[in-house]
Amino acid sequence: MKRKILEVLHHAGTEFVSGQMLCEQLGISRQAVWKYMTQLKEQGYILESVSNKGYRLQETPDRMYGPDMESRLDADGICQKIEYHDVIDSTNIRAKQLAETGEPEGTLVVADQQSSGKGRRGRSWSSEWGTGIYMSLILRPSLSPQQTSSVTILAALAVAKAVDRCCCQKSSIHPQIKWPNDIVLNGKKVCGILTEMSSEMDYVHYAVVGIGINANNASFPEEVASVAGSIATETGDHVDRQQLVADIMNAFGGYYCGLIKYKDLSFVVDEYNGMLANRDQEVKIYHGMVETAKESEIEQGVAQGIDNQGALLVKSNHGIEKVVSGEVSVRGLYGYV
Ligand code: BTN
């Protein structure tokens, strides 16, 4: 019920919503409306109530709250259900547990903090309380495992698009994508994506797309401090994390429908390449870990953009090479981008 009340209040924006209207639309009594409004106020929502006018939402607390995020989702979008945790080991681990026990496609696990956040290539993901966004979406695509791996590219696009819309309207900087799926603002990494899949040779049981966003973080652990930034540090503005979660899910839904329809990335290649931070730039391709790779494991070339399968096309002395994600890391010649 609180999801529905918040949906009406968010939709009304700065307008008042009459108690009578809420009763009729939600099929509940005046006392019930009053009870839910009181509960929301206790949770930190600032609600103005004026007799003869009704209720108006003035401020939402900076906390992740499942019903509130759900109230901002597209009615026909991919995500319809959010499972919220204050603290969890890893939203990817929880989403995989849910998927194993039959949870349908479209459930999103969100947490305010992770105690064992996982990054790519066995790294950890710093996940302090209340500043970042940690979330994992369960998918069950009717695609091959290879086609399914493209969801990571689409998640990066959805994050970049939503961050631009939600957080960069007042700023002169805009998000870019560092292949395959890091989002950068001002050259700083503000988002990482870890997709995990359970599949057979030609059948996908499920995929979990885990998205970590540095939203309002002010500082970072020493080991990532030179590379990482947050949306707030780079734009100078505080991020409405709940709105950003909903905007990402709403954007991802459209891209995911496209992938199911076309079965490759042909419909977004131009859009993705338009946001690619390394496009037409000299890049180094590391076949080992970046920190420990030997000279023989590093190649150099100019990044051209992705192909319909999401591979990065790199022009080198040997011609155009297709670099496949998961096998390598790509860095700029003089730094991370
Ligand atoms: C990367 O190394 O760039 C990927 C980081 C992915 C982190 C996110 S946070 C939400 C989800 N849960 C995890 O444990 N990891 C992903």
Residue 141 reports pLDDT greater than 80? yes
The residue type of 28 is: I
The predicted structure's pLDDT at residue 298: 83
CB 158 within 8 A of CB 213: no
Q: What's the CA angle centered on 85, arms 82 and 88, to 5 degrees?
A: 125
The pLDDT-based confidence of 327 (bands split at 50, 70, 90) is low
Residue 97's CB is within 10 A of a number of other CB atoms, namely 12
Distance CA 79, CA 76 (A): 8
Q: State the pLDDT at residue 332.
A: 80
pLDDT at 328 over 80: no
Atom 8 of ligand 1: nearest residue by CA position: 212
- pLDDT, residue 294, reads 79
Residue 25: predicted pLDDT: 87
Q: Give 171 Cα–ligand 1 centroid separation in angstroms.
A: 26
pLDDT at residue 227, rounded to an integer: 92
Residue 117 C-alpha to ligand 1 middle, in angstroms?
6
Helices (H), the chain: 2-12, 19-26, 30-42, 66-71, 91-100, 145-148, 151-167, 231-235, 241-262, 269-275
Q: What is the pLDDT of residue 315?
A: 94
User: Which pLDDT belongs to residue 9?
Assistant: 93
Give yes or no for residue 117 CB within 6 A of ligand 1: yes
114 lines ligand 1 (CB under 6 A): yes
For ligand 1, what atom is nearest to the CA of residue 121? Answer: 2
Q: What percent of the chain has pLDDT over 90?
A: 77
- End-to-end CA distance of the chain: give it in Å, rounded: 46
The predicted structure's pLDDT at residue 171: 81
pLDDT at 335: 76
Q: What is the mean pLDDT of residues 85-98?
A: 97
Question: What pTM does this model have?
Answer: 0.92
Measure 318 CA to ligand 1 centroid, in angstroms.
35
2 lines ligand 1 (CB under 6 A): no
pLDDT tens-digit series, residues 188-236: 999 999 999 999 999 999 999 999 999 999 999 898 989 999 999 999 9
pLDDT at 318: 85
| % pLDDT > 70, the chain | 99
Does 136 contact ligand 1 (Cβ within 6 A)?
yes
Ligand 1 pocket residue status of 192, Cβ below 6 Å: yes
For residue 73 the two structure tokens come to 């989702």
Rounded Cα gap, residues 240 and 63, in angstroms? 9
| pLDDT confidence bin for 57, thresholds 50/70/90 | very high
237-131-157-72 Cα dihedral, nearest 10 degrees: -90
Q: Which atom of ligand 1 is nearest to the CA of 191?
A: 3
Q: Residues near 105 by Cβ (< 8 Å), separated by ≥ 6?
A: 78, 138, 139, 140, 141, 206
- Of 181, 211, 230, the residue with max ligand 1 atoms within 8 A of its CB, to mutate for a pocket test, comes to 211
Residue nearest atom 15 of ligand 1, based on CA coordinates: 118
Task: Name, of 6-10, 267-271, 276-280, the range with top average pLDDT.
Answer: 267-271
Task: Put residue 52 in one of left, alpha, beta given phi > 0 → left and psi -120 to 50 → alpha.
Answer: left
User: What average pLDDT does the structure give for the chain?
Assistant: 93
pLDDT at 287 over 90: no
Reading the block at residue 96, the tokens are 């995989």
Compute the distance from residue 170 Cα to the ligand 1 centre, in Å.
Answer: 28
Please determine, for residue 289, whether its predicted confidence score (pLDDT) is greater than 90. Answer: no
Write down the pLDDT at residue 191. Answer: 98
Record the tokens describing residue 268, joined without a space.
């977004």
Q: Which is the closest atom of ligand 1 to the Cα of 114? A: 14
Q: Which of 16, 68, 14, 17 is nearest to 39 (CA)?
A: 68
**Is the beta carbon of 193 within 6 A of some atom in ligand 1?**
yes
Cα(193) to centroid(ligand 1), Å: 5
Can you give the pLDDT at residue 295?
76
| 110-129 residue pLDDT tens | 999 999 999 998 899 989 99
Dist. CA 172–CA 181, nearest whole Å: 22
Those residues with Cβ within 8 angstroms of residue 13's Cβ, 6 or more apart along the chain or in another chain: none
| Whether the CB of 120 sits within 6 Å of ligand 1 | yes
